[in-house]
Structure 1
């Protein structure tokens, strides 16, 4: 029988009043029929024999004491213990039970409620043992309770995973038994080595993997239950210290053994009060289980991660698909049967996940059992058909022997022989027909069995591959999730520290924020006014720009017309130049001819003079020569013709020179008029360009002022929003009602909203700036084109 004094010494780590050593479990762990662990205790010397307990090192000291108390055993012990608990239905509720209450329930004679002396001794012993216990602050108590809740949730999650893996292991074992009926139905049995089958080897590997996974989950569950003991012990010691302090304050100097009834009443009242929640109590089974090679520092995630939830959902979907395929397979195996399990297979998806998984697993087990029954039935039919076939073969042999005998006796009785022979032949044909039918039925049954085996193999292979890949992914995601959670916790701690530091700064900067807010309002008004001026200037600029565009278009049309006229004038001038060149060439030829004619005339005149002198000397006077000329009219006609031709060429040359002067004068006047009109147009365009550039410069200046004011406004608003967020964070950190998750959520929402607003503002400003820059580039290109046209016109 374990006394309360020794139990207190075991929990506190300090010796009791009877100077006994702390008790620890021995190596012997036995499980009875009622699944209650029986354990014997031995005294183990403790290093701190004086009972001094350092509150700050309570976690490590308690862990070390429990480490020394736990023996070493194979890892399969934990799995076997948890499996037996699951099979007996002891894992459904909470595993944490109150060790003191259990001991009192098992040993009701520990405390005699009607013996006041025993109660006083127990109270004094408890007060003496708990006088050095640490009293925690409310924040530490809340933190320890939160830690306990987190560990309990992890224990429940691990327990559910262990139940699922055990179900999968049992299902794999049943599938192996379906393929190899001779193998015993226990986990220690293995497939015989003489069976060289890939399916068998793969099934054995899958079974080993499932067994390994179950052992890992059992070890993890043991870790978590052992990890839960440390904060629970701290809470128990804190509660004992509180009770010791309150009892010491209420106990006056006049109290003695006479007021034992009051003490008994207080003790009875304290017994009725529920000091602890079931979630913060011991799991006494974890004290007595033995494992080896445990890493007590291993920790899981506080809550099931998204990857675990996703894995559970996918596992549920796969189970549902497997069950539906199993149902379809059963209906194909025996379509006429009305006793197929789960024919009305419906799952209530609104129920608890554990219930849904249990329903899936139960249906899978029922289907496997049905397949076993159907396979045994088919095997019986096959054996019956085989025996029938052997009987028919024996009958066939007998009939053949009889036929041979009858053939030997054919010489004796031919008629009787023929009748008997026909009869036997008919019987033989009937037997052959029956034999063929039975063979067909056997062949069909064999094909059905083979198809069912192939389908089951395919389903099992796909499920094994999916489970293996999913488990690998789950492990990787679980590790990454643990790292992310640790990083998030560190970031949360740093954020809380920054929030505490910013809390003092908020009060100082509050007045500055108010003044900044007033300045922001004033600047908003100025910005609004500037925006109105900018809008008005932009409207004026748009109107003037539209007018300038119209004028530019008119000028461009005029320039095009002038270009056309100038081109026509240039073409006419070119034609005139060509004709003038031709006329000049003709004139040169005519002048040359005239010179030649004049030379001829001069020569002729000289000859005439000489001839006249000769004539006068030879032929007499002028009258005589006139008479001679009159007598020779051909020479006179030639002279007259040449004189007229000379006169016509001279007049034609004078006309050509006069027309050339007129044409040159007219073309020069047209060119001067065109140049004058073009210079006026270019002057007007330059004036308009200068005006547009001035407007553009003013607009750019106004935009710069507006942008600078807008940036100042955004900076002030950003600072104000940051201070508001810090203030909200500080206020929420002061309040105990908000959790770190709510702080982080509110801060994230505010930051996201502010970033979204800033992105929209910047996007709108960038869009307006791009539109203005594109318009500016277009106008610059037009100005550049006009300047190029002007330079082309100025060039000869």
Structure 2
């Protein structure tokens, strides 16, 4: 699976991933999505319509979009890169305009501004391509997920039906639901655009327009011709055309059905050639490996150690024979595959030749002859040279006439009919409509047959796979049973050899006892020949079994010794026969020493036999004859017990062999019954196909030489298992070949999907969401700062307006002073009130000065308030910088925490594995200790205390194994302790990272709290400023009124001369009232504007979602 024949898809996927990564790295994601009221209506950023489909702002969207585009590459492979790129460009133009316009004009007013966001990403384009995929690509199979248990046979399952295309739709639907409703709107619009393109609902100019070929890597130039051909020479072109037409007259023209069958045959042969080449390459590697193995086994290995179970030469010879047989089989398979590849290539060349001859014949038949102009005179001979042929004026001199037709060009059917002797050729004005030939097989019927064949192959493959698994299991069991049988046979042989040695030692003991008893009888007879002449002979009859006469021999020995003692006592009492007694005593002592030596030799031989069983068996005592007999009695008891154990073990081994034979016979019956059932199924299937009138397939024939009545034998069982293994291997290869054929026929790629860890994905999604929320919060902060800056600018403009109004009031005051001076000039005639008026003027001047002082104080207060506001803005910017730094630190801490968590999980897995290994070794140690204690208990009960046993090779070996196991356990404990220390360190680092994360989050919360407090202080300062401005304006208005009233007062004694001043004062008061009303109305309008701005800001915050910091503790 790759981007083969899909360069446009590869470019789009790489561009999407690269642009998304670049937008994330350079922090420019906010330039790609669209907020309708802010970006389009307020700032008129129409360029966002062309850029919002260029990248994704979320890593999950990048993953799903790339996977969906990769699965939809089959459309490009069917259409071609030029048409596919043209369709994507036209669809992108439609989807760039329609979703944002529809969102801003229809959805946003209907939802009262709730739907205001168009996410970034190529979701509309993907759904436009998905509409073509839905219409063009058929599904291969369907399956149903049942929602209940299995119903009766006649009913259907109740559940959901899926197909092989369902998971592609699921990826696209997930992409459409990531940031709904904007993403869902884009998906719907993209599907509609794709459907409109498909059904010719768009303008024809757009559907027929194509990109230039060079833009998609197409070679618009025709392939180079021979260097000896001059295509600009019309005579040479005419001669080549005539030669080609003459050569193709004998070519056979085929029917449409034959052409279709040839194309299918060429396609199937091409697939078979590729598969055969692949199989040949694999078999060649197998052959090389088999040759290497044969060389390896054929080399002499003199230094190789011989096995304890037998000689290694036999196994090496068998391995060499097997390797040689495998090499010959591999070479035979390689030869067969090379012959098959040669025949397939020849058939492919013949089919291609027939198709090319048909094409040349059709072109020769449909070639349009040149037509001479009617007004052209016959060519004259010029300078003795004939004129140019007619092709000089009628044929095209360039190669443009031979270019490939475009996507929308059609074949000219009028050229099919020409004056070539074909009767009934239609005229040029009335072309004949030729009926279409119906193919012999409909594509649906062929697809149905292919599906049935695939289902049948799947069933047979499942059956063969089950049989292969059963055979593999049986083969493993057979190998285990063989190993157990070999081990048992070796143990039986060793026990038999030990038993023969013990029987031989018992036989030697019996023979020595017999000779000793004979010599003892001679001694007894020599003591007193008259009395002891009739002393009975020792038992000398040959025993039926070795050791049967040991008891009688010992009894005879005891009786003889008692008789010898009696004779010694009698000879001691009689002093007359002292010499005889001494002689008899000497003879008896000699006989006793000889008997003691023989018994000691016998005991030593018995001990040598028993040391094989028990290395710690005690030494032969040298203390006397009684000790020798005690040792002999104990040894015989041990020999008897060992013989009983050997008999019981032999019976157990025999029973195990019988059970093994019974299991193998049962497996043989299962295999034979399975082959019988398979043959029966094939016979039933063949019978049903014969009844339906369908020909018998090659796969239905009995090509296996299987004898279901063959009796059981070990060699037959081994041959059957090897044959089944070879069949299973060949069937696996056929299965892989069939899979590739089906996939290539349906033009579908393999369905390999990579799964990711859910926790990492969840963490990544959380990080993406946090980053998106952080970006939105940054945008909100920037908007708030801009709005606050605008408000400060408005306040400054209001202050400037108030200052301008104060200046105007001062100018009016100056005018009033001038008018007052004029009134004073008019009132100079009234001398009695002049002094009083001057005093009043002084008082008014003092009031004006006090008013100016209050105005200056208000100005200073406003300056201090503006400076405080600027300080607060500086603090707010510093707080924002601290927030950004803390955000970066928190992201690094979270990344470090994730890495430490992954390392901790890996270390915990290693710790678990080490603990399991330690537990396994502990169990082995406990088992060995239990076996050792049992063996020690048996030895103590059988042969005495531990002090009496000498440590021999077996005990040493057990101790060595125990020490090795203890050292292994110690090493594992050390590794476990080091791993635990590393885990503790990682856990401590993780805890420290979490603490740092919490510290950073607490600092961030403190910074946000200080930010909110600063914002509250700024708001309170703004309110105080507004209140002080209003108070100062009200005070100024009151003072102005008092000033006007004081300045324009007219004394009662003024008479008629004061009438003009009174009228002037009334007019001035009316104008001042009007000015105050206008000022109050302007102030109300400004307050109303400010409220509207605040309401819009609140709406903007609501549309952006909750304003909570994404980095606050969860």
TM band (smaller chain):
under 0.3
Larger RCO: 1 or 2 (CA < 8 Å, sep 6+)? 1
TM-score, structure 2 normalization: 0.17
- Please tell me whether Structure 1 or Structure 2 has the larger radius of gyration of its CA atoms: 1
TM-score (norm 1): 0.22
